[in-house]
A and B are shown apart, each in its own frame.
Chain A
Amino acid sequence: MRAPPHWPNAWQNPFIQDPFEIPLERQLELLLTADREMRRIKGVTLAETSMQFRRLEQWYASTLGSRIHQVKMQSGAGIMAMSFAGDEIQKRSYPSSFGGQHQLAGYELITSLDLVSHAARVGEEAVALHSAVQCPEGQSTIILESSQLGLQVHESIGHPIELDRVLGMEANFAGLSFLTLEKLGKLRYASDIVNVVADARLEHGPGLGTFGYDDEGVPAQCTNIIKDGLFTGYLSNRETAPVIGLSRGGGTMRAESWNRLPMIRMTNVSLQPGTWNYDDLIADTDDAILMETNRSWSIDDHRYHFQFSTEIGWEIKNGKKGRMLKHPSYSGITTEFWNSCDAICSRETKRHAAPVAEAHLPTDGELRGLAERILRLSDADETEVEIDAGSDALTRFANNTIHQNVAERNLSVSVRTVFEGRTARATTNKTDEAALRRVVAASATLARSQPKHPDLLPMLGKQKYARVVRHFPETAEATPKGRARAVARAIGVAAAADQTAAGIFTTGASVSALANSRGLFAAHRQTRAEFSVTMMESDSSGWAKANSPDIKRIDPAELGASASRKAAASRAPREVETGRWTVILEPAAVLDLVGFLFYDFAATAIRDQRSCFNKRVGTKVMGDNITVRDDVTHLLQTGAPFDGEGLPRQQVLLIEQGVLRNLVYSRASAKKMKTKPTGHGLPLPNEYGEAPYNLVFEGGTTPVEEMISSTERGILLTRLWYIRDVDPYEKVLTGMTRDGTFLVEDGRIAGGVRNFRFNQNILEMLSNVELLGPAVRAAGEESFEMVVPAMKVRGFHFTEVTKF
């Protein structure tokens, strides 16, 4: 490819007010006012607000002669109210959920959002939802408000058009796409009023996908994705553009930071405005449901079968907005959905789809020296220093070849100061004297600029910790060559079976240290090795993944062989009926479901009434055969033996034979709830309190083979995908099966079946466990690693079956 023509080499997004110049006190005061306004509404049990600013300055140079300097300023904010009553948690957010709205803009965006004026309404609606009518079931016309529509575009258009995904480069994790190459210029993606562009140019607006040049030096462009309903374009980069006959890259390569490899990421993928005025649209509608603000989203790995739910809905009857509806949710198939699009409103408020060398890690002596240097620079009442250093290397492969092989190292220094009961933290990765002075001063300014922290306790002094061995030199010393050889072995398995392999092999080492002005010093060192592989045939796939601090426990050839057997055995999948099934969940499938429970065990989640265990402490919540501990010392666990404040982590019995016995506590939440802390606190200050990061589910003795031989008719599940919370109190989760779903008949595997969507109450599932396998260290994608067994469960609820 030729070098793009000469271009001007500086770009900055316009903004009016630099958010870093606005005093913190003023920003905090705004949030606290909105917070107070929400809590003035009777029935609001939890109010949260947030604001974030990011300034990124980048110098780009390439051997093709590019020299580009860019500055991007980004701002965002949002508020959320929850109400817990009866057996329901209801929630409302503004201007959108999950952190609010973010744009390439300055502080003027925050001013225009006017959070305070919307706070009371947000609180009122959260409370009113308890008495709202349940959203009816069935086929219906729906109207999506703009932020939910933005998500619909992002998930069912933005992701499937990513060309790296289409070409199989993301098959192991992010997944594939139903938009295979022969569909370009042929597929009726949508009804003919639908026009979608991917536009990174400034004239399109201040979306997060706006820039002057992408991260491989290609200028911003506008690409037609859907033109009058016809599918016309992909998101491409320099490497993939020739595959679809383009002479230059699509300009979509972006990296999150300097230590990330650029990849194809959505620019502003936007539905072009239509002609309807919003009020006229409502007036013209006889019977529909209006849905507002996303609550959960889940879509299969081909981006075809989706299920979205929103915080609130409204009946539209005879042109009028009627009763409020709770738990609105809709599901569908991407192309059917977009081909049924009848009307698009005009631009009211426009939104965008949101879219080395190894490896000297500091020794304990060096960590101590650095911490002491920082402690000496501080004149605070108390000072805490957290140092994290790591080096990671990742080899990614797809289509039977290595396509990414990357490495990074980083060191971060975080300083927390306390002045008269006020505390705050500042972080840097620069360790020269001037930068250390700056980070200490920033922490002091932040701390002094805020109200007293009511729960703040004096810092801890010296502590004693359990000894855990989690650093293995063989893992720390793994080389790119070693990883490439291991990958080549797995690819060899694929080639021999006429299959295609995709996956990752990661190795790394990290160290973290905590020190404070009262003499506490804690340090933890560990290594990590992880191998994940997907093997594909034309109509089936198989998957396997393992993770351990010790690389010797990872066998890529064996994992490859296991995935390969699954792909072969699930060939020509048949369709079986939805409904309640007996299922056998392999450990990875169990992990990704039970992982959703981890924060529910936090005492702060109970106090905030956001846990599914609200009012259930001491009661039977699962079957007799379920016992769960949090245990950092377990041989299959990883992580530091101290928490975010330096307190030793204790073993906690959470569930004993189905009964919820204990929670985990930080120092502050233990004091509030008049009990002892368990050593599970998060670094301060934080709003979440604590969490158990070392869950261990007690296993049984039945191997998966015996679960199969004891089953007359059931489904065997390898892994699950895109799991989301549908109902936080009943803990109903939805998601898809993936990469190895089998019918079991008369005690034997009868062949592969088409994948399912499930909607399953997880506490009910854990009450219906018939058999347990031995507990193993399981690795998935939705949850961090835990120790869990395989399970045979009765009455597991499949609600939909896919078309592939």
Chain B
Amino acid sequence: MMQEWANLALDTARVRGATFADARVVDIRLRDLSTKNGEVGNLAESESLGLGLRVIANGCWGFASTDRLTREGVQACAAYAVSIARASALAKRLAESLHSGPV
């Protein structure tokens, strides 16, 4: 399932005009315990799952992330990442030397 979300993000970014994209789906589990002067200070468990997507479009980087792992959520995130990259191109200038080649 997680692999499919990553693939969907890449496909959407490509369709939107990205020349490069990489996606990370990350699932984190955390446990945190602490004490102070003989009493329990903190005792917590947490989980966090989401997807982050980097793209290059118009020679600029874009990044967006989402915790909505649904078809719509992932596609919207990928489209947003590409539109962010295009917006970055508004202030490019020195960008060519660093960013224009493939990664």
Interface residues of A (CB under 8 A from B): 1, 19-20, 24, 27-28, 31-32, 35-36, 39, 46-64, 66-67, 215-217, 238-239, 242-243, 255, 257-262, 356-358, 393, 395, 397, 399-412, 414, 424-430, 435, 439, 442-443, 446-447, 450-451, 453-455, 479-481, 483-485, 487-488, 491, 495, 608, 685-687
Contacts and interface: CB of A to CB of B under 8 A. Distances in A.
Nearest to B6: A61
Contacts of B26: 56-59, 257-258
Nearest to A495: B93
Report, nearest first, the 6 A-B pairs whose CB atoms are least far apart. Answer: A687-B41, A427-B46, A62-B22, A480-B87, A406-B63, A357-B76
B47 to A, nearest CB: 5
Given A48-B41, A61-B7, A405-B62, A258 B33 contact: no
Contact of B39 (A412, A430, A454): A454
B37 A47 contact: yes
Contacts of B27: 56-58
B24 A66 contact: no
B69 to A, nearest CB: 9
Interface string B41-59: 1111111111110100000
A407 B48 contact: no
Contacts of A455: 39
B31 A19 contact: yes
A61 B95 contact: no
Given A357-B76, A405-B88, A60 B37 contact: no
Contacts, number: 291
Contact of B52 (A28, A242, A258): A258
Nearest to B25: A59
Given A61-B10, A258-B48, A446-B45, 9 more contacts: A55-B29, A61-B6, A239-B99, A258-B25, A428-B48, A429-B47, A484-B90, A685-B42, A687-B41
Interface residues of B, number: 75
Contact of B50 (A36, A216, A429): A429
B22 A61 contact: yes
A249 to B, nearest CB: 9
B50 A410 contact: yes
Contacts of B60: 402, 405
Contact of A54 (B6, B29, B61): B29
Nearest to A19: B31
A408 B43 CA distance: 27
Nearest to A481: B87
A259 B50 contact: yes
Contacts of A453: 39-40
Contact of A32 (B35, B76, B85): B35
Nearest to B27: A57
Given A259-B52, A407-B65, A400 B93 contact: yes
A438 to B, nearest CB: 8
Contacts of A400: 91, 93-94
Contacts of A443: 45
B63 A405 contact: yes
A206 B61 CA distance: 33
Given A48-B35, A57-B26, A257-B28, A405 B52 contact: no
B43 A62 contact: no
A356 B64 contact: yes
Contact of A62 (B23, B38, B85): B23
Nearest to B36: A687
15 contacts: A24-B43, A39-B38, A53-B30, A60-B24, A61-B22, A61-B23, A66-B22, A356-B66, A403-B98, A405-B84, A407-B84, A409-B66, A424-B44, A425-B43, A687-B34
Given A39-B38, A424-B44, A59 B24 contact: yes
B24 A55 contact: no
B61 A412 contact: no
Contacts of A66: 22
B38 A20 contact: no
Contact of A685 (B5, B9, B43, B94): B43
Nearest to B30: A54
B98 to A, nearest CB: 7
A52 B37 contact: no
Given A53-B30, A239-B98, A356-B77, A407 B63 contact: yes
A357 B73 CA distance: 8
Q: Which of B5, B44, B54, B99 counts the most A-chain CB atoms under 10 A from its CB? A: B44
B65 A408 contact: yes
Given A1-B103, A62-B23, A406-B84, A450 B40 contact: yes
A395 B88 contact: yes
B22 A63 contact: yes
Contacts of A255: 24, 52
Given A59-B6, A63-B10, A395-B88, A48 B36 contact: yes
Nearest to A391: B66
A519 B66 CA distance: 32
B28 A62 contact: no
B76 A356 contact: yes
A451 B40 contact: yes
Contacts of B68: 356, 409
B27 to A, nearest CB: 5
A488 B91 contact: yes
B29 A20 contact: yes
Contacts of A239: 98-99, 103
Contacts of B5: 59
B91 A28 contact: no
A356 B33 contact: no
Contacts of A28: 33, 35, 40, 43
